[in-house]
Amino acid sequence: MVQKKVSVSKDRSTKKEEKKKGVVKISVKKSPKAEEKIIPRSLRGMRDILPEDQPYWERVRRVLAHSSQEYGFQRIDTPLVEYENLFTRLIGTSTDIVDKEMYTFTTRGGDKVALRPEFTAGIARAYIEHGMGILPKPVKLFSLGPVYRYDRPQEGRYREFWQGNFELYGEDDAILDAQTIQLAYRVVQQLGLKNIEFQINSIGVPESRKEYSKALVRYLEAQRSKLCQNCRERLSTNPMRILDCKEDKCIQLTAQAPQSIDYLDEESRSHFKHLLEYLDELELPYVINTRLVRGLDYYTKTVFEIWSGDKDGKKYSLGGGGRYDRLVQMMGGEATPAIGFALGIDRVILEMKRTQVKPYQEPRARVFLAQLGEMAKKKSLKLFSELEKNGILIAESFGRGSLKSQMRVSNRMGAEVTIIIGQKEALDDTAIVKDMVSGTQETVIHSRLVEAVKKILHTNQELKIKEVNIARTSENEDEKKD
């Protein structure tokens, strides 16, 4: 920081001097591009997840690990980078994700590769590559990591963002669709999110979709003039998207438009019917949204999104998924039905903060070690590791001056015990153990130190448990277990 200031003022004064002396700018420009300055800034749409945010991430990680285990998922991690055509071919060349949001580049070896914009393609690739088709079905895979999309950043929308991803291979029964949604619900519920709503739709198979698309165009074409400018263009590019339009006139028009559900093939229709029955049985909060069309080509039959938000307020999409029965086959594998969903971790955390969900509480140091003088310093370092070996988390402020300032730090971090070693204690091999709650203290010899500290911590623990119990009886639920 000091450095910064110095260099800035230097620059300024030299500039000034140059000007005063009548030095012409050109000389500055000519000077061999004075080493490009390092700008300490992250790239657009990329951000750091700072220590202060980690408790939220930790809670999410724990819930995901827990839930995925409960539902029999196995963790898989695939590379961030894959061949570009894995994504272009599977996600679809006319989708936004592939069209304008992929990070692509050519390696030194000449391979055309891309940063993964989503998980499914890579995991399906791994499924085939490692012959997971021989495993007992369904094969359930869970993954967590960053994905990349070159989009205009906004709140809750980043170019590098994290997804928790669940995939189930090898089962086409609608009960798996229901279970997947149930799992999604379980996860957001355990994360303490309320006001969750599932938007569900079935988009059938590509053939029936084509037919529906034709019917939709036929209907809308007749009333072309009543559509908004945007939608008129969409008529030829992506008619299904018109269903998503926010313009009043378009909403009115599309309200009477043919619905995709009516064009479903027989199998998809019955699949959808079964799914809804299961969902009703589970009493999950869902609504059928016939306008829901998802942005990837590989989806078949069931698609859904997880929304959060109050009735009146804004709604945020926290995640989504669907069935992709043809994906594995498209990739050259054996025909394998599959379903999955992804949760947008960044958005989930945003929503946790918005609704004031408690983050994970890191176990924190409850004991502070203060030391005074050279000799005490030497002793305290050894004590530190000794206590730590006995399972006592220690905080310290080695290198800090007065005892007073050390006590202040101890107090501010909420330590329950402060161990003080001064010159005298260092000589006698003793230490002062101070109970920060009561303020009492005693001098103990090293061999009894651990015992003395633990005793205080225990009494405090018991007091705390009592308090918590009293609080619990009045307001139950919420944080049942973490």
Return the number of other C-beta atoms located less than 10 Å from residue 394's C-beta: 20
In a 3-state reduction of DSSP, which class is residue 159? Answer: coil
**126 within 8 A of 173, measured Cβ to Cβ:** no
- Comparing C-alpha atoms, which of 331, 296, 348 is closest to residue 101? 296
**Helix, strand, coil percentages in the chain from 3-state DSSP, rounded to 5:** 50, 20, 35
Separation CA 175–CA 177 (nearest Å): 5
Tokens 């005490």 map to which residue?
376
Query: Residue type at 89?
Result: R
> Bridge partners of 435?
417
Alpha-carbon distances of 471 from 196, 355, 459, 464, rounded to whole Å: 27, 21, 19, 11
Select 132 or 184, whichever has its Cβ closest to RNA: 184
The tokens for 323 are 């069935």
Contact by Cβ (8 Å): 433, 452:
yes
**CA-based nearest residue to 160, from 40, 21, 43:** 43
Strand 196-202: give its sheet, edge to edge. Answer: 74-75, 139-148, 160-169, 338-344, 316-323, 300-308, 196-202, 286-288
Beta bridge partners of 420: 370, 432
The length of the chain in residues reads 482
Which amino acid, 66?
H
Burial class (CB in 10 A: 0-12, 13-18, 19+), 399: exposed
> Which stretch of DSSP H or E encloses residue 87?
helix 84-91
Amino acid in position 40: P
